[in-house]
């Protein structure tokens, strides 16, 4: 089974920051450019329509009397406007009466001025039509086609610069994100390494250095506090498992494990068994509290008098055992256990 690949938190942070900055900068700039283009197209249309209305009033009589040359002279005024590629006067049935420039369009195209900004930019031109009124009746229309290729080129250039600026901002965001992700992920990496160490060697005294004062620092502090509690609990459990709770010396389980360890090492070992005579009478006469106090005093006495390296355990009740792993004490193991008489 193939090993599962883990994506790092740092890599995800960098990817999110890069995508977010790039998308935010590009979206904001594109929206600004779009609004600017829409505004410019609307202004261009309004300007052409205003001039067309003025000229329409000037050519009404000429169109009614069929003076195409006079109409053409008037159209030259509107053709002088910037980015106007075609100007024409048409009869009500759509036939061209007089024209300047060349253009191909359909009758339905005359409504493109109300089309979306995207459609106008894609076509690269904007047809505008103004009715010619004479004596209260419609005698034709002025058709003007404005060239939007310059506006489209400027928008594309601005879009290119926008994308480059967005990319630069995203790269800067990555630099900031790398520093941020190291600050965030370094404590997590340290915690991961510490947990692996604990799992492998069962060392619950392991601590992680806290280098942060934010949420990750709180996480490290909580981990260290948890390890301290676990270590304290293990110490308490070990004491319950291997030590007598009354006297504080080793118990029967500790005695057996110590014997197995010493015997397995091949070193000589001596065992001294200590049994208190008539201890039951002490409990019966003076009570268990006094008996417990006597056991603690005897355990302390045996620990003081036992030779160095000796291991004292309470086997149960009034029985004690002393392990003497020293070969020299093996010859006379009880010599030092005989306290001198008190005066």
Q: What is the mean pLDDT of each run of 10 residues along the chain (343 residues)?
A: 54 73 77 82 83 82 83 78 80 84 56 64 81 85 83 81 78 74 71 81 77 73 84 80 88 89 82 88 89 91 87 90 71 53 47
Number of domains in the chain: 3
The confidence score (pLDDT) of residue 181 equals 67
CA 108 to chain centre: 54
Q: How far apart are CA 83 and CA 120, in angstroms?
A: 14
Do 107 and 148 belong to one domain?
Answer: yes
The confidence score (pLDDT) of residue 336 equals 53
Q: Show the domain range for 211.
A: 204-242
The confidence score (pLDDT) of residue 3 equals 47
The confidence score (pLDDT) of residue 102 equals 67
Do 229 and 278 belong to one domain?
Answer: no
**Residue 5 carries which DSSP code?**
P
Find the DSSP H helices in the chain.
9-65, 68-79, 117-123, 149-201, 215-242, 252-265, 279-286, 288-305
In a domain, 334, yes or no: no
Do 31 and 139 belong to one domain?
Answer: yes
The confidence score (pLDDT) of residue 268 equals 81
Written as six digits, the tokens of 83 are 């980015």
In a domain, 180, yes or no: no
Q: How far apart are CA 120 and CA 118, in angstroms?
A: 5
Q: How far apart are CA 343 and CA 180, in angstroms?
A: 76
The confidence score (pLDDT) of residue 113 equals 46
Contact 132, 59 (CB under 8 A): yes
In a domain, 213, yes or no: yes
Contacts of 70 (CB under 8 A, 6+ apart): 59, 62
Contacts of 123 (CB under 8 A, 6+ apart): 112, 148
Place of tokens 């397995």: 264
The confidence score (pLDDT) of residue 58 equals 83
Contact 252, 313 (CB under 8 A): yes
In a domain, 266, yes or no: yes
In a domain, 39, yes or no: yes
Contact 2, 169 (CB under 8 A): no
Contact 26, 181 (CB under 8 A): no
Do 93 and 50 belong to one domain?
Answer: yes
Contact 117, 37 (CB under 8 A): yes
In a domain, 174, yes or no: no
The confidence score (pLDDT) of residue 330 equals 47
Contact 62, 71 (CB under 8 A): yes
Do 34 and 125 belong to one domain?
Answer: yes
CA 116 to chain centre: 40
Do 17 and 87 belong to one domain?
Answer: yes
């Amino acid at each position: 089974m193939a090993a599962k690949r883990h994506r790092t938190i740092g890599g995800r942070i960098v990817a999110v920051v890069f995508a977010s900055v790039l998308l935010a900068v590009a979206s904001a700039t594109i929206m600004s450019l779009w609004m600017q283009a829409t505004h410019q197209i609307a202004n261009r249309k309004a300007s052409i329509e205003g001039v067309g209305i003025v000229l329409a009033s000037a050519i009404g009589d000429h169109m009614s009397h069929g003076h195409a040359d006079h109409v053409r002279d008037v159209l030259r005024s509107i053709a002088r406007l910037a980015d106007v590629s075609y100007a024409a006067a048409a009869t009500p049935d759509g036939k061209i009466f007089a024209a300047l420039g060349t253009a191909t369009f359909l009758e339905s195209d005359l409504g493109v001025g109300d089309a979306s900004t995207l459609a106008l930019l894609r076509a690269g031109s904007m047809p505008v039509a103004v009715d010619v009124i004479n004596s209260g009746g419609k005698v034709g229309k002025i058709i003007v086609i404005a060239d939007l290729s310059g506006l489209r080129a400027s928008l594309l250039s601005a879009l290119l610069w926008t994308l480059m600026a967005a990319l630069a901002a995203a790269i800067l965001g990555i630099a900031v994100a790398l520093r941020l992700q190291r600050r965030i992920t370094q404590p997590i990496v340290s915690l991961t390494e510490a947990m692996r160490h604990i799992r492998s060697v069962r060392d619950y005294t392991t601590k992680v250095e806290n280098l942060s004062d934010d949420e990750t620092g709180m996480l490290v502090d909580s981990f260290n506090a948890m390890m301290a509690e676990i270590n304290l609990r293990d110490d308490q459990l070990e004491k319950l498992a291997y030590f007598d709770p009354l006297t504080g010396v080793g118990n029967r389980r500790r005695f057996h494990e110590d014997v197995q360890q010493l015997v397995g090492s091949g070193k000589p070992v001596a065992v001294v068994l200590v049994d208190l005579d008539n201890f039951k009478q002490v409990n019966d006469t003076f009570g268990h509290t006094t008996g417990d106090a006597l056991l603690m005093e005897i355990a302390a006495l045996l620990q003081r008098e036992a030779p160095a390296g000796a291991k004292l355990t309470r086997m149960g009740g009034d029985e004690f055992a002393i392990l003497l792993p020293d070969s020299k004490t093996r010859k006379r193991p009880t010599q030092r256990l005989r306290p001198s008489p008190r005066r």
